[in-house]
Amino acid sequence: MIEHFTPREIEAMRPAGRFVGEALNTLRGEVAVGTNLLEIDARATELIAQAGATSCYVDYHPSFGAMPFGKVICTSVNDGALHGLPHDYTLRDGDLLSLDFAVSINGWVADSAVSFVVGQAREEDLRLIEATEAALAAGIAALQPGGRLHDVSAAIGDVCRGAGYGVNLQFGGHGVGRTMHGDPHVPNDGRPGRGLRLQPGLVIAIEPWLMATTDEIYTDADGWTLRSQDGSRAAHSEHTVALTEDGPLVLTARE
Q: What is the pLDDT of residues 159-199, one digit of tens each?
A: 999 999 999 999 999 999 999 999 999 999 999 999 999 99
Q: How far apart are the first and last CA of the chain?
A: 33
Calculate the alpha carbon distances from 95 to 27, 34, 160, 180, 235 in Å. Answer: 15, 11, 22, 28, 11
Q: Is 112 exposed, middle or buried (0-12, 13-18, 19+ CB in 10 A)?
A: buried
Cα separation, 247 vs 224, in Å, equals 35
151-160: per-residue pLDDT in tens?
Answer: 999 999 999 9
Cα separation, 28 vs 24, in Å, equals 6
- Residues contributing to the annotated binding site for a divalent metal cation: 100, 111, 174, 207, 238
Is pTM beyond 0.95? Reply is: yes
50-59: per-residue pLDDT in tens?
Answer: 999 999 999 9
Superfamily holding 7-250: Creatinase/methionine aminopeptidase superfamily (3.90.230.10)
What value does the mean pLDDT take over residues 94-99?
A: 98
Cα separation, 115 vs 77, in Å, equals 9
The whole-number pLDDT of residue 41 equals: 98
Reduced to 3 states (helix: H, G, I; strand: E, B; else coil), residue 40 is helix
Cα separation, 220 vs 214, in Å, equals 16
User: Residue type at 121?
Assistant: A
Contact 239, 227 (CB under 8 A): no
Supply the mean pLDDT for the chain.
Answer: 97
- Residues contributing to the annotated binding site: 83, 100, 111, 174, 181, 207, 238
Cα separation, 236 vs 118, in Å, equals 15
- Residues contributing to the annotated binding site for substrate: 83, 181
35-92: per-residue pLDDT in tens?
Answer: 999 999 999 999 999 999 999 999 999 998 999 999 999 999 999 999 999 999 999 9
Contact 112, 207 (CB under 8 A): no
118-140: per-residue pLDDT in tens?
Answer: 999 999 999 999 999 999 999 99
Reduced to 3 states (helix: H, G, I; strand: E, B; else coil), residue 48 is helix
Residue 255 pLDDT exceeds 80: no
Cα separation, 178 vs 143, in Å, equals 21
Q: Where are the domains of the chain?
A: 7-250
Other beta carbons within 10 angstroms of residue 164's beta carbon come to 11
User: Residue type at 79?
Assistant: D
